[in-house]
Structure 1
Amino acid sequence: MRKTMLAAAAILTISSAAFAQSTVIVTDPAPTGSVVLPGEVRTYVMEQNTPSAVYDGDIVVGTTLPDTVEVHTVPDMDGYGYTVVNERRVIVEPKTHRIIQVLE
């Protein structure tokens, strides 16, 4: 009976470790404090011919752009919007207009 319980415990431990390895949690991987974008988002934004808005402020991660700056959605990618400000492409949170990455 004891061997059966030990075997069951070992199997549960191994299977939970294997399951945990298939999950990736990204908290803040980029050294600049910005997020890691799915490649499709960056590609889509870089290919768009979007006019640049003028903004009298710093274009840095964390800045919230005013509602007067038009934010465009990224198709099929909830949580990502973009705009071009002062000739710089930026990824923003669509609901808050907060810059989450400046594309170079």
Structure 2
Amino acid sequence: MKNYLIAAAAGFVLVAGIGAAVAEDVIVIAPEQQTVIREYVHKQKLASVSLLGVELNVGSPLPDTVELHTIDVPDVKYKYVVVQDRTVLVDPDTRRIVQVID
């Protein structure tokens, strides 16, 4: 019985650790920041690009051919691009999509 409890506890710790690691990858942009970003992008009037074969999902990488633009909004370290009329926030280091703002 003692071995079963130790194994169960070890499994729980492993699962909790995996959950914490996944939680670190989730980026949360506050609704207020989304509004400011949306207004900023609207004022820039950046042309929308079309990317065939690229899904706009969080974590998906964008090709190197896509030009990323700086967001002049406090506390936002990401860059953006407008794809199919949707604002896409991108981590400039990995070029992975962080959030899609409609």
Question: TM tier, shorter chain?
Answer: 0.5 to 0.7
In the alignment, which residue of structure 1 is the partner of 2:16? none
- Of residues 87, 100, 103, the one that matches 2:101 is 103
Moved over 3 A (4+): 40-43
Matched, 1:88 2:81: no
In the alignment, which residue of structure 2 is the partner of 1:64? 61
Partners of 2:38 and 2:87 within 8 A in 1: no
Unaligned runs of 5+ in 1: 1-26
Bigger Cα displacement from structure 2, 46-55 vs 64-73: 46-55
Name the structure with the higher helix share: 2
Q: How does 1:1-104 map to 2 (within 5 A)?
A: 34-37=27-30, 39=33, 40-56=36-52, 57-75=54-72, 76-77=74-75, 79-104=77-102
TM-score (norm 1): 0.57
Q: CA deviation at 1:44?
A: 1.8
Give RMSD over aligned pairs: 2.4
Report how many aligned residue pairs link the two structures.
74
Deviations 1:30-79, CA, capped at 9 Å, x for gaps: xxx55224623343234321111221221111111011111001125452
> Who wins on radius of gyration, i.e. which is larger?
1
TM-score (norm 2): 0.58
Identity between Structure 1 and Structure 2 (%): 39
Unaligned runs of 5+ in 2: 1-21
Q: Aligned partner of 1:68: which letter?
A: T
